[in-house]
Structure 1
Amino acid sequence: MMLSDHRVQNSQLRGRLMSAEAAAALIPSGANVGMSGFTGAGYPKAVPQALAARIERAADAGEPFRIGLWTGASTAPELDGALARVHGVQMRLPYQSDPTSRKQINAGEMEYTDIHLSHVAQYVWFGFLGKLDVAVIEVAGVLPDGRLIPSTSVGNNKTWLDQADKIILEVNSLQSLGLAGMHDIYYGTELPPRRVPIPLTRVSDRIGEPYLHCDLSKVIAVVETRQPDRNSVYAEPDANSRAIAAHLIEFFQQEIKLGRLTSDLLPLQSGVGNVANAVLAGLNEGPFEHLTAYTEVLQDGMLAMLQSGKLARASATALSLSPAAAELFEREIDFFSERIVLRPQEISNHPEVIRRLGLIAMNSMIEADIYGNVNSTHVMGSSIMNGIGGSGDFARNAYMSIFMTPSTAKGGAISCIVPMVSHVDHTEHDVQIIVTEQGLADLRGLSPKERARVVIERCAHPDYRPALLDYFERARQGGGGQHTPHLLDEALAWHSRYLREGRMLP
């Protein structure tokens, strides 16, 4: 039996089956293209590569060809990498992690708009970002009535399908049909002033339906693929990550003793990366039971917690698994489908829901300053790393806002605790807890000067602690304002010295 008989069950769409090359030929230069994908999961694999080849041929013929590329978050080399290598992206949003894209953004060759992930869908509905011309969406299958079985991420797919003038579907037969039923696609959002509260009060609540809808008349191409997601790389936690995890677990235990948390904590949100996975591994071995998670990405650490029973339920918008974890997920998909809900990112990251559920938000950062301002996006103030992602959605609205990082980088040449951050993503007003391998600073209820002492004493590396204390004391005596003392001539001197000499300390 033909593959399409299994995965494309709608007769109308079977008539639009074509090659990736033919589908890519339907995307015009200058179009804004919304593609599926969130942290290397559920992104189209074939059409972007065919489009990149077409763009390269156009460039060779002296015919510039570029698009605006909108996604859920980061994708993979077959999408971001392929299009960036041929200089095919004029504008990228809302989040990326591709090294070629990053290089072009920082060289001024690609425009980049960094947006809170909860804002993207509503900005498109509001018309703030302009017209969405084409959507390219990976799905696991098409039902006879035309409903779509979502893939390993939901992201902004609902909005792309609703808002795009034209739609190209990639039907990936390597994605398990066991995904059917794991998703919860909510169609109840409205534009102001007709908005009503989102009826979600527990992590496990289902408020939508398992499938995506689209206007079949807008589907101009269906492409069959059989390619895996780009799995994330899982590294065993290092000593710094384990120390950060230990500080957090000790802190949670203290919060329980003080009556501010219970033994099942509150729903967890965890950013991506090895530090986050280390914290989850620590929680999996810790004394807490019957935990839940309401997050944007489900990583190896949460999968292990679900398997062990420490984590009862998890809600996310995407999977981001290592090859070993992806194999486990596929093998035990019936088990996991009863415990995981995948939602659109406008729901997974929605401020209203985050505030209502009372999340414990744990995110990584590049640097923090002594007053608690956090930079999570820029290196040395000017060069983008990846983007803010969903960290701002969670930090501003969580019950508890935690930021984590090792205290130094580049072999100790950089201090991740500085007098003043070189770029601000999360102001001191949204940051409650800072954790490094050195210790944990609880900033709740402290004045700026009190925050400075706690951050320096508990989070700074010993090699940098004396210089930070010296800066702080001289700033206090400098004759300027004493609410948040700074020496403006020196506040960014550490960053300037690193750019000149390759180290922050003299």
Structure 2
Amino acid sequence: MSTESRILCPQLQQKVMSADEAAAMIPAGATVGMSGFTGAGYPKAVPGALAERIKAHNATGAAPFRINVLTGASTAPELDGKLAEVDGIELRLPFQSDPICRDRINTGSMNYTDLHLSEVSQYAWSGFFGKMDIAVIEVIGIREDGSLIPSSSVGNNKTWIEQADKVILEVNSKQPLRMEGMHDVYYGTALPPHRKPIMLTEAGQRIGEHYLRCPIEKVVAVVETDSPDRNSPFKKPDDASRKIAEHILEFFDREIKLGRLPKELLPLQSGVGNIPNAVLEALDSGPYKNLTAYTEVIQDGMLKMLKSGTLSVASATSFSLSPDGIAEFEENIELYREKIILRQQDISNHPEVARRLGVIATNGMIEADIYGNVNSTHVMGTRMMNGIGGSGDFARNGYLSIFMSPSTAKDGKISAIVPMVSHVDHTEHDVKIIVTEQGLADLRGLSPRQRALEVINKCAHPDFKAQLLDYYERACASGRGMHTPHLLSEALSWHERFEQTGTMKPE
């Protein structure tokens, strides 16, 4: 099907133009809301054209041309990478994973606001980001009445369209039009004190509309594209990932036998990456049937589970598929359209819904300390990696919050279990389970000192276990306080040692 046939609204057919022409409508200093979530559904042409314009402008020696970029989550090199490369971003939020962005954030040349993904829409509506000048949104089609068929992510698109003074649409013919009907856009949200309950009691419920509403008069440009989403291949699970998955499945089996989980478990939330995919793969090979997912992202592992019947329905806000995953999705799209629901992220990540459904949240971490605090974002306490994403939305509000990591990094030079985390994203109060390939620590109902021994004995690598026990025992003997014993002069010494010598191991 041609791109032209996807623009069925006569008024918007008159606004078709090139990416360069559309990018010329974005002024320096603008706040721009762009579609995109984990490398899916982001604009493919306008950001690159804007980057070229910024590059040419800055070459003249004039005042720097920069914009504020707001998205759903991470995007791709065609957006984040190109704009960061020409130093075109003043402020970026709420999440990113681009190496050029990361470098600019950590050198201080780009401001970055790391937010819980469920709160971004509320922040925008409350005015904390100021006026939104323009929204640049990818869709897969425009209907006769001007309503929009969403793309492979919904993210914050509803909010950006509502908030922006002007809207630029990219109509991407590479995305399969057969996705139409998969989306569920809810128009019942409001700010306090006018909020009403989000009436989702099952992961597979639909409460909204298939399409995005957009006043035709707001649309200033329509750009035709034919480009795929970013689709990085997933690595095959390594030994550590498989062992982590085994520990989690053994835990699920035990919880079912104890009557604390039903045999269908509870709705699954899975972070993005190789370890979460290993967990999904293990679930698919186990005895489970008719599981459900209430999560942010549909990964390859969930497609396999939907196809096999292990998973009956998956609710998310976006895809994050490998090339093989995209091929599988497009080949069997009719099957998946009946089992997948894509919502906006203030619903997919809504704390009220996560608490009501009793979500089982599984997310990665950079490090955890002996008392159960988790660092998801900062390397050695100061250098931003990607951001908190939606992990906090689900960790605090889910029935189970599971954080996973190999027990070491950098060829064994870094321990993922440390005396005190160098940055806290998830406090000990929100962390229920910590898992490494060494074992699983169930922290529920334990006091701080009990948690410390559970984490050290179950999760620490043998190369660091004795060192952690020594720290803990000396902290207890210090007499400084026995509720959460610490040696303040040593609590971050492991990180300092790595910075100075390249390893956390003592000489």
Moved over 3 A (4+): none
Residue 2 of structure 1 deviates from its aligned partner by 6.5
**2:41 aligned with 1:42:** yes
Contact residue 34 and residue 71 of structure 2 kept, 8 A: yes
Secondary structure class of the residue paired with 1:338? helix
Contact residue 40 and residue 232 of structure 1 kept, 8 A: no
Matched ranges for 1:315-464 at <5 A: 315-464=315-464
2:100 is aligned to 100
**2:499 aligned with 1:499:** yes
2:199 is aligned to 199
Output the amino acid matched with 1:476.
C
Contact residue 3 and residue 225 of structure 2 kept, 8 A: no
2:225 is aligned to 225
2:147 is aligned to 147
Secondary structure class of the residue paired with 1:213? coil
**2:58 aligned with 1:53:** no
1:22 is aligned to 21
Matched ranges for 1:51-200 at <5 A: 51-63=50-62, 64-200=64-200
* Distance in 1 between residues matched to 2:11 and 2:477, nearest whole Å: 76
Secondary structure class of the residue paired with 2:429? helix
Deviation by residue 1:367-409 (Cα, 9 ceiling, x = unmatched) = 0000000000000000000000000000000001100000000
* Distance in 2 between residues matched to 1:357 and 1:270, nearest whole Å: 15
Residue 3 of structure 1 deviates from its aligned partner by 3.4
Deviation by residue 1:186-220 (Cα, 9 ceiling, x = unmatched) = 00001111110011110110000100001111111
Residue 346 of structure 1 deviates from its aligned partner by 0.2
Secondary structure class of the residue paired with 1:368? strand
Please give the TM-score of this superposition, normalised by the length of structure 2. Answer: 0.99
* Distance in 2 between residues matched to 1:308 and 1:150, nearest whole Å: 27
Deviation by residue 1:59-97 (Cα, 9 ceiling, x = unmatched) = 101121000000000000000000000000000000000
| Structure 1, 283-292 or 97-106: larger mean CA deviation | 283-292
Output the amino acid matched with 1:148.
L
Contact residue 174 and residue 228 of structure 1 kept, 8 A: yes
Secondary structure class of the residue paired with 1:33? strand
Contact residue 365 and residue 405 of structure 1 kept, 8 A: yes
* Distance in 1 between residues matched to 2:232 and 2:480, nearest whole Å: 48
Contact residue 168 and residue 221 of structure 2 kept, 8 A: yes
Secondary structure class of the residue paired with 2:259? coil
Residue 128 of structure 1 deviates from its aligned partner by 1.4
Unaligned runs of 5+ in 1: none
Residue 289 of structure 1 deviates from its aligned partner by 1.5
Secondary structure class of the residue paired with 1:330? helix
Output the amino acid matched with 1:203.
A
Deviation by residue 1:317-366 (Cα, 9 ceiling, x = unmatched) = 00000000101101110000000000000000000000000000000000
* Distance in 1 between residues matched to 2:241 and 2:443, nearest whole Å: 21
Secondary structure class of the residue paired with 1:149? strand
* Distance in 2 between residues matched to 1:327 and 1:490, nearest whole Å: 52
Please give the TM-score of this superposition, normalised by the length of structure 1. Answer: 0.99
* Distance in 1 between residues matched to 2:232 and 2:399, nearest whole Å: 29
Count of residue pairs brought into register by the alignment = 505
Output the amino acid matched with 1:10.
C
Output the amino acid matched with 2:263.
S
Secondary structure class of the residue paired with 1:491? coil
Secondary structure class of the residue paired with 1:411? coil
* Distance in 1 between residues matched to 2:428 and 2:130, nearest whole Å: 33
RMSD: 0.7
- What is the percent sequence identity of the aligned residues? 67
Deviation by residue 1:127-163 (Cα, 9 ceiling, x = unmatched) = 1111111000000000000000000000000000000
* Distance in 2 between residues matched to 1:225 and 1:79, nearest whole Å: 14
